Amino acid sequence: MIDFKNGYVGIESSDCVTALGDARETCQALVGGTIALKAIPVLGEDGGDLVPLAVTSGPDETVPPRWIGLLDSLKSKVPDYPWGTAKFPIFLTSSNYDVGSLYKYRKNGDTRYLEIGTPANCLSYLKKRYGWGENAIALSHACVTSNLGIEMATRYLKAGVAEKALVFSFDYVSPFVAGGFHALKILNESFPAPYQDREIGSIGLGDGSAFVVLSATDCPVRLESNFLFNEMYHFTANDPEGSGFNASAEWAQSVSKGRRVWIKGHGTGTLDSARLEAQAFQRALPESPLVSWKGSLGHTLGSCGAVELAIAIASIESGSAAGTLGSRCPTMEENVAIDNIDTKEFEGVALFSNAFGGAHAGCFVSYD
């Protein structure tokens, strides 16, 4: 068992599904420079502008949901514990759940699209499908949602009310979701180039699901600390002073304790947030390379924290992590890494996500 005075919990298992495959396959593809994003009509079968999406199949809603087979495949890799019982809680996380199905219902009136389209319905559907018990909750807080699930799971373990905790997360692109980002003008015809110094910013969106099993037993990969912060500045814009990014960087500096670490940033490809993020980490940890993978995978929304954690762990196991995909020099700061990283040269990685409303979240992972 872990002595929690040491300040960490064990990451027993993790995996993900992206447009490039599972965590190992995605890691290998990213290291090889593969860009998963493709130009796809923003409204799917209804057309619209071509925008960069990294999807596992056409983005239109279907019955049953187009993502359920991928979730079944992911669930098959989760260690076999009595999930949903008293000591084995489940934290289901998503920023969108199946909200696109409600939009589809409004369009065609087919009541089958009402079965899953809310967090509560999704949770009930998956509990029944996977035989989970009642000790399961659904969380949703924009693009830091899976980070919140990881934080809550950590608290359960440290409080001694859980032996293992499962964070299970999914977000899939739909015309409703893509159309919303497109209306904000941040999803456009340009492909994302995270942290690249250029005139026009843009993001991509991607399908993503992941699980993380946290444990009260020691593991080679350890979750040492979690970070949560909210600027409370604006519904969508960042604090121009960068308070959230500065707090993130200062926290990473404090928990790294002088160790060599690399940083997996949020890095969607927008300009203001990218510059604030790169500057904050350049000041606090100038020797730590900063990378983003959203230039290939797109932004996997509320699941990005868990998806990118699973990829980071696969990168640790393989010995190589991808640099910042989709970007080239000049970069906004010198700490931005374009080339791949030898993870064996480091002792830890700090991973970050941020969201509308000024929410920032992160976790620090150490490894042998």
| Rounded Cα gap, residues 204 and 107, in angstroms | 25
Residue 101 to residue 87: CA distance in whole angstroms: 33
State the pLDDT at residue 357. Answer: 87
pTM, rounded to two decimals: 0.97
Which of 308, 313, 307 lies closest to 291 in space, CA to CA? 308
Class for domain 4-215, per CATH?
Answer: alpha beta
What pLDDT is attached to residue 6? 63
pLDDT at 276: 97
Contact criterion met (CB below 8 Å) for 127 and 84 = yes
Residues of the chain scoring pLDDT < 70: 1-7
Alpha-carbon gap, residue 289 to 261, rounded angstroms: 8
**Cα distance between residue 159 and residue 168, in whole Å:** 21
Domain with CATH 3.40.47.10 in the chain: 4-215, 221-367
List of E strands, the chain: 9-18, 21-22, 38-41, 50-54, 90-93, 136-139, 164-171, 205-206, 208-215, 221-230, 261-264, 290-291, 320-321, 341-342, 348-355, 359-367
Decide if 94 contacts 116 (C-beta within 8 A). no
Q: Are 358 and 49 in contact (CB under 8 A)?
A: no
How far is Cα 95 from Cα 257, in angstroms, rounded to an integer?
33
The DSSP string of 310-331 is HHHHHHHHHTEE---TT--SSB
Tens-digit pLDDT profile for residues 114-124: 999 999 999 99
Give percent of the chain above pLDDT 90. 93
Is 187 in contact with 205 (CB distance < 8 Å)? yes
One CATH from 3.65.10.10, 3.40.50.1470, 3.40.47.10, 3.20.10.10 for 221-367? 3.40.47.10
Provide φ and ψ at 299, rounded to 5°: -85, 115
User: Burial level of 108, CB count in 10 A (0-12/13-18/19+)?
Assistant: exposed
pLDDT in tens, 326-360: 999 999 999 999 999 999 999 999 999 999 889 99
pLDDT at 238: 87
299: nearest Cα among 212, 146, 173, 168? 173
